[in-house]
């Protein structure tokens, strides 16, 4: 099972849209796919029309309840979801009580390794003990970046943090999202930044109304507008990520 985390310290950069659309594409290819909505806001759960049931994350972390017990099916074949739980806002505290706090997430995921081909972790915008668990568990961090100064600054913070930590195995796969080429800053950034930052994927996700309509359709955008510029971009992004893995 490949574990892919959509992550950025900054919010509003397209993490959930990335997780939901790529997971849908993986499932459409026949891969057994699971999304774990780790954000207490529950956007991925909302998009998949699954209502969260708040029962507490502490039981999961203490091993009193297997993760498989909270997996829900979606409307799409081969695609399941662990819905967000508002108690996830306290996940840091629950993890901190463990003997090996940065290994708690991976411990929960191991029993599912034979059931799924891909697991997407939709992460909250933060840097925390939960984030460290994600870094430790993930095979790759998918990092959407809006081509603006603050978004790039948080990417540099992430790279700097990982460089100083003992977590070295996760691939960092940054890419530009919500790109509006009508804006000069966006054009200059996407054209110039890859010259100074290595590893930025070539696919750019455009700013598009089809993505914003995910909240109305409550469905992956790649399911209702696959031929749109954004839909084609997500398909290209998924191919590029698979090649990188």
Euclidean distance between the first and final Cα of the chain, in Å? 12
pLDDT in tens, 197-206: 889 999 999 9
Predicted TM-score (pTM) of this structure: 0.93
CA distance 12 to 154: 12
pLDDT in tens, 162-191: 888 777 678 999 999 999 999 999 999 999
Q: Which among 199, 185, 160, 211 has a CA at the least distance from the CA of 9?
A: 160
CA distance 27 to 79: 6
Q: Which residue segments constitute the domains of the chain, with CATH numbers given?
A: 2-244 (3.40.50.300)
Question: In whole angstroms, how far apart are CA 77 and each of 125, 143, 148, 242?
Answer: 29, 27, 37, 20
> CA triplet 47, 52, 57: central angle to 5 degrees?
125
């Amino acid at each position: 099972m490949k574990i892919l985390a959509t992550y950025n310290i900054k919010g509003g950069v397209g993490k959930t849209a990335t997780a939901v659309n790529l997971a849908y594409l993986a499932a459409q290819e026949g891969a057994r796919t699971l999304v774990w909505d780790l954000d207490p806001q529950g956007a991925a759960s909302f998009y998949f029309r699954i209502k969260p049931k708040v029962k507490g994350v502490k039981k999961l972390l203490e091993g009193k309840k297997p993760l498989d017990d909270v997996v829900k099916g979606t409307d799409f074949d081969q695609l399941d979801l662990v819905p967000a739980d508002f108690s996830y806002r306290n996940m840091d505290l629950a993890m901190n009580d463990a003997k090996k706090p940065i290994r708690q997430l991976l411990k929960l995921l191991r029993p599912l390794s034979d059931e799924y081909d891909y697991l997407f972790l939709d992460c909250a915008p933060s840097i925390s003990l939960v984030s460290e668990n994600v870094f430790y568990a993930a095979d790759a961090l998918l990092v959407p970046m809006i081509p603006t100064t603050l978004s790039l600054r948080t990417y540099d913070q992430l790279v700097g943090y990982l460089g100083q930590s003992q977590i070295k195995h996760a691939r960092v796969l940054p890419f530009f999202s919500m790109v509006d080429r009508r804006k000069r800053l966006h054009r200059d950034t996407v054209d110039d930044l890859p010259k100074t930052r290595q590893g930025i994927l070539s696919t750019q996700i455009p700013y598009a109304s089809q993505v914003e309509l995910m909240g109305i359709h409550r469905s992956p955008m790649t399911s209702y507008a696959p031929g749109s510029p954004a839909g084609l971009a997500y398909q290209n992004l998924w191919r590029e990520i698979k090649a990188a893995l």
